[in-house]
Amino acid sequence: MPELPEVETVRRGLAPVLEGQRLSRVEARRADLRFPFPEGFVQRLTGATIQRLERRAKYLMGVLDRGETLVMHLGMSGRFEIARPEGTIRPGEFVYASDPDPKHAHVVFDTQAGGRVTYYDPRRFGYMALIETAKLGEHPWFAGLGPEPLGPDFNTEGLKAAFAGRKQGPKTLLLDQRVVAGLGNIYVCEALNRAQISPFKPAGAIPARKLPGLVTIIGEVLEEAIEAGGSTLRDYASADGALGYFQ
User: Matching CATH topology for 4-144 and 156-228?
Assistant: no
* Residue range 39-79, pLDDT digits in tens: 999 999 999 999 999 999 999 999 999 999 999 999 988 88
E-strand ranges in the chain read 21-28, 49-56, 59-64, 68-73, 79-84, 87-88, 95-96, 105-111, 116-120, 127-132, 242-243
E-strand ranges in 75-175 read 79-84, 87-88, 95-96, 105-111, 116-120, 127-132
The fold of 156-228 is Helicase, Ruva Protein; domain 3 (1.10.8)
Instruction: Indicate if 227 belongs to the active site.
Output: no
Q: What is the pTM of this model?
A: 0.85
* Residue range 80-119, pLDDT digits in tens: 888 866 655 544 333 334 556 788 999 999 999 999 999 9
Instruction: Indicate if 2 belongs to the active site.
Output: yes
Q: With beta carbons less than 8 A apart as the criterion, state whether 4 and 149 touch.
A: yes
- Which one is the CATH code of 4-144: 3.20.190.10, 3.10.20.30, 3.40.50.10210, 3.40.50.970? 3.20.190.10
Tell me what pLDDT residue 232 has: 43
* Residue range 155-182, pLDDT digits in tens: 999 999 999 999 999 999 999 999 999 9
* Residue range 195-225, pLDDT digits in tens: 999 999 999 999 999 999 999 999 999 999 9
Residue ranges per structural domain of the chain: 4-144, 156-228
Question: Which residues are CB-contacts of 130 (< 8 A; sequence separation ≥ 6)?
Answer: 38, 41, 44, 45, 68, 69, 70, 71
Residue 62, strand partner residues? 53, 70
Residue 238 has pLDDT above 60, yes or no: no
Residue 235 has pLDDT above 70, yes or no: no
Buried b (16+ CB within 10 A) or exposed e, 224-239: ebbebbbbebebbbbb
Tell me what pLDDT residue 83 has: 83
